[in-house]
Amino acid sequence: MMSSNDTLPRFADVLAAAARIAAHARLTPIASSRSLDAISGARLHFKCEQLQRVGAFKFRGACNAVFALDADTAARGVVTHSSGNHGAALALASQLRGIACHVVVPEGAVRSKLEAIEASGAVLHRCAANLSAREAACAQVQADTGATLVHPYTTTEVIAGQGTAALELLTAHPDLDALVVPVGGGGLAAGTALTMQALAPNCRLFLAEPAGADDAAQSFARGVLEHDVIPDTICDGLRAGMGAINFELLRNSNARVLTVDDAQTIAAMRLLWSRGKQLVEPSSATVLAAVLANSALFEGSKVGLILSGGNVDLDALPKLFALVTASAA
Amino acid sequence: MMSSNDTLPRFADVLAAAARIAAHARLTPIASSRSLDAISGARLHFKCEQLQRVGAFKFRGACNAVFALDADTAARGVVTHSSGNHGAALALASQLRGIACHVVVPEGAVRSKLEAIEASGAVLHRCAANLSAREAACAQVQADTGATLVHPYTTTEVIAGQGTAALELLTAHPDLDALVVPVGGGGLAAGTALTMQALAPNCRLFLAEPAGADDAAQSFARGVLEHDVIPDTICDGLRAGMGAINFELLRNSNARVLTVDDAQTIAAMRLLWSRGKQLVEPSSATVLAAVLANSALFEGSKVGLILSGGNVDLDALPKLFALVTASAA
């Protein structure tokens, strides 16, 4: 669902986003761990977006999109169809600007996540759990209210906003040899690519992707966007297929996809918890899993890793941990 | 077991400790969470000692004790009888100074913790799991090697070192209304009291204690040190009885003990994980549990809380979480 106003963002848009969100978003810390350095054989610098507002990098893009609107457009509100971190982020950004936020949510969405979205004053619109119902419901809200669609990863300002995480990381560590980010729809990946091209053209970009949702890996291998992957992964933040604009941006960036299976991801998540003391969700742990599974690529290097979020369902932990043996962490 | 060289530390000893450990210990971050502020009705500032080396504040005291030794004494090594965070902290501090470290460990100690101690080059000495066997084994090591005993919470330099956490917190937030720390043996509590008396005499000191190991609460109520509490709590860092020197320091500080039961602690731990994104162990969560259970004491106040450590056994989580209903976090 690429709307007509999705134009290719440039690095100047990332800089504009940084200025726009500075008063609202957190400048998140960058963590390191001697223990994880020893395990990986590399020097790892973790950008802690689990400590961003709403617990995920998604607040950067949503905040940029909301505050980029002119006053008249903003007054008609915004709409999206994510019941996850993007929905919560857009709801909070809208509350901060004092505008209406509509979130289309499919039947069966997690109750606690919907409560978080409602707590920020957003209006929920229920629809059936399929793409066409979701798009129809969004279009209806737009028609009824004049609200602006803020897509979770294809909207220009969203991509530019996500690029500010790498901007902060590369400002603190301009000499990174490699940067690893998770890839789902590609908003964070594309924004990161924009920032790297401008600030660190010799730094290699790696995209960590669940093997059970490897449309990016397939798309890169074939040179055309793959639409037909049915996701099967515990990484709930990375189930979306890559957007067309995101693929276009990333194809020109020499990014390389590294796939990891869920057991590798959960083992890495346990290491991030037990050794790094970083409370991250499974999607975030794909980046460490990718480094550990490809040691020849990273050994001896200075590596940046964006920990994308920390919204983990604690009640699901026994199920997640069952994916790996206890000895793995 | 108060050794003859345990003298009452003063604030000057805390300042000396800060200078001594600066090159080795981390200046840990201070975190806040709008969500936890809303839940508590107070402004909470969390000192993140789970991000200290070895994952606990214990490194401060152990490091101070090791680096305070003169060269000849240091050359004979150090000895302690903690298989927990203090043992790991003393092992690392000794490795950093390049001296021998002996750790007396009882039969049945957790294997992963012993491996962590050995990884820092310490020598393990096994003994039966009772106090007299432990003291005899320590005395034997001292007789054989000339090593200096570094007690987990009564050694003067250990208490002074633990006081540096509050020193950093009060330097960043001199206007705290209250400060809450966990209490077990009383090393952190006594060190904190020293710092507060000097820097923030009007700030109230609260000691969070598990109801199942409430010897401090009983000792404060009766005015004499209670020795006969048999601990029954999931807070493995807070099972020790308070030391005599610690009690003496704390009696003069107007500290107040707040007891919390394990269910309150685990509910608070889940909130620290899910809302604060702070990966803390149960003992650390007692401080938030105490604030939430005593809202009349803290409402509207600016409160400092020392998160003591983050060494949680991930495989034990299902058992811990079973203590509270899923809806609590």
The Cα of A315 is separated from the nearest Cα of chain B by a number of Å equal to 7
The Cα of A217 is separated from the nearest Cα of chain B by a number of Å equal to 31
Look at A274 and B315 and tell me if their CB atoms are within 8 Å. Answer: no
* Res A2 pLDDT > 60: no
Q: What is the mean pLDDT of residues A244-262?
A: 95
Task: pLDDT band for A325, please (50, 70, 90 cuts).
Answer: low
Q: What is the mean pLDDT of residues B62-79?
A: 98
Instruction: Check residue A146 and give its pLDDT.
Output: 97
Task: Please report residues of B whose CB lies closer than 8 A to that of A326.
Answer: 315
Q: What's the rounded Cα separation, in Å, for the pair A287 and A182?
A: 6
Instruction: Check residue A6 and give its pLDDT.
Output: 66
**B30 close contact with A: CB closer than 8 A:** no
Instruction: Check residue A326 and give its pLDDT.
Output: 47
For A193, half-sphere exposure in the C-beta direction (CA atoms, 13 angstrom radius) is 25
Q: What's the rounded Cα separation, in Å, for the pair B104 and A4?
A: 70
* CB contacts < 8 A (A, B): 42
**A171 close contact with B: CB closer than 8 A:** no
**A270 close contact with B: CB closer than 8 A:** yes
**A111 close contact with B: CB closer than 8 A:** no
Look at A270 and B31 and tell me if their CB atoms are within 8 Å. Answer: no
Look at B317 and A318 and tell me if their CB atoms are within 8 Å. Answer: yes
Q: What is the ipTM of this complex?
A: 0.91
Choose among B50, B51, B326: nearest Cβ to A315: B326
CA angle A183-A45-A82, nearest 5°?
30
Please give the domain boundaries of chain A with CATH numbers for all domains: 11-56+156-328 (3.40.50.1100), 59-149 (3.40.50.1100)
Task: pLDDT band for A130, please (50, 70, 90 cuts).
Answer: confident
Look at A310 and B277 and tell me if their CB atoms are within 8 Å. Answer: yes
Q: What's the rounded Cα separation, in Å, for the pair A210 and A55?
A: 21
The dihedral sign for the CA sequence A131, A136, A141, A143: positive
* Res A322 pLDDT > 90: no
Q: What is the mean pLDDT of residues B227-247?
A: 93
Q: Mutating which of B277, B284, B311, B312 best tests the A interface, going by the most A Cβ atoms within 10 A? A: B277
The Cα of A118 is separated from the nearest Cα of chain B by a number of Å equal to 14
Task: Please report residues of B whose CB lies closer than 8 A to that of A85.
Answer: none
Task: pLDDT band for B103, please (50, 70, 90 cuts).
Answer: very high
The Cα of B106 is separated from the nearest Cα of chain A by a number of Å equal to 23
Helix, strand, or coil (residue B233): coil
Torsion, Cα of A109, A112, A115, A120 (10° steps)? -110
Question: Nearest chain A Cα to B315, which residue?
Answer: A326
